[in-house]
């Protein structure tokens, strides 16, 4: 057997997994293929971690919250009434974990190191990098200063790109309420960014 056959086969498997819908993956898991849950983790982990990190202001706490949420999701997967809206369901579980975490512990100022700066087109431009880092820290602090429900609404809408219908499923709040929270959060962040001038 030629070893070179392994990589293409793995690639094909990945493509097949990527083409499966959430409903199909959930059916596989409930049918006894627990490993298939890894497909859902890889599909939604980045967004859930980003959401939790913005809510909690701490990467370690976010990782704990997301890990706990995914385990809970696996355990109760059979109770997900609509696997076609799995993303909203996972964000709801994660949001609940974040709220529990925030209720137990007051959030402290966000350490600069907790918010990684995105890669720059020109890494050699240290001045631009420094400016970006300062902006990241400022934005993160402004976000952390928002009340949790406004922070959650802003992040779900503008960072995670959820629709208002999905946000209502995640938060349990009404759409007009969510629109107002997003609006207020935008106002507060614009004011905070203006303070930098």
Partner 1 sequence: MTDRLDDAIELLKTPPAVSVEARVMAEIRQMAVPVTARPVRVTRILPWLGLALAAGVAAIFLISTRNAQGPLGESEGMAQFVGQFPGARSVEVVGSFNNWSRGLLHLRDDDHDGIWHAAAVLPAGQHEYMFVIDGERWVTDPLAGRFVDDGFGSGRENSVLIVRPAVQP
88 in contact with partner 1 (CB under 8 A): yes
CB of residue 165 to partner 1, shortest distance in Å: 13
CB of residue 72 to partner 1, shortest distance in Å: 8
d(CA 157, CA 166): 9
Across 87-119, b (16+ Cβ under 10 Å) vs e yields: bbbbbbbbbbbbbebbeeeebeebeeebbeeee
194 in contact with partner 1 (CB under 8 A): yes
Triad 137, 143, 65: Cα angle to 5°? 95
- The pair of three-digit structure tokens given for residue 82, joined into one six-digit string: 């609509």
Contact region for partner 1 (CB under 8 A) — 2-10, 15-23, 102-110, 164-172? Answer: 164-172
107 in contact with partner 1 (CB under 8 A): no
CB of residue 54 to partner 1, shortest distance in Å: 6
- The pair of three-digit structure tokens given for residue 23, joined into one six-digit string: 């409903």
- Applying CB under 8 A, among 22, 25, 54, 162 the residue interacting with partner 1 is 54
Is the four-CA dihedral 192, 193, 194, 196 of positive or negative sign? positive
Residues with Cβ within 8 Å of 65's Cβ and at least 6 positions away in sequence, in order, are: 52, 56, 94, 97, 98, 101
81 in contact with partner 1 (CB under 8 A): yes
Footprint on this chain of partner 1 (rule: CB under 8 A): 29-30, 32, 34-35, 37-38, 41-42, 45-47, 49-50, 53-54, 59, 62-63, 66-67, 70-72, 74-81, 88-89, 92-93, 96, 114-118, 132, 135-136, 139-140, 143, 155, 158-159, 169-170, 172, 186, 189-190, 193-194
């Amino acid at each position: 057997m030629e070893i070179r056959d392994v990589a293409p086969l793995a690639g094909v498997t990945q493509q097949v997994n990527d083409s499966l819908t959430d409903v199909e993956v959930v059916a596989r898991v409930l049918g006894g293929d627990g490993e298939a849950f890894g497909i859902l983790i890889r599909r939604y982990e980045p967004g859930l971690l980003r959401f939790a990190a913005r809510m909690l202001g701490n990467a370690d706490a976010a990782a704990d919250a997301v890990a706990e949420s995914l385990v809970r999701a696996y355990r109760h997967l059979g109770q997900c009434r609509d696997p076609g809206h799995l993303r909203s369901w996972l964000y709801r579980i994660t949001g609940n974990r974040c709220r529990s975490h925030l209720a137990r512990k007051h959030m402290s100022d966000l350490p600069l190191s907790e918010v990684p700066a995105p890669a720059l087109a020109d890494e050699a431009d240290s001045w631009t990098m420094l400016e970006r880092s300062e902006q990241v820290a400022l934005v993160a602090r402004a976000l952390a200063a928002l009340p949790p429900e406004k922070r959650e609404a802003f992040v779900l809408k503008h960072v995670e790109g959820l629709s208002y219908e999905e946000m209502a499923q995640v938060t349990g709040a009404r759409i007009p309420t969510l629109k107002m929270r997003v609006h207020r959060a935008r106002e507060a962040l614009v004011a905070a960014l203006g303070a930098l001038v």
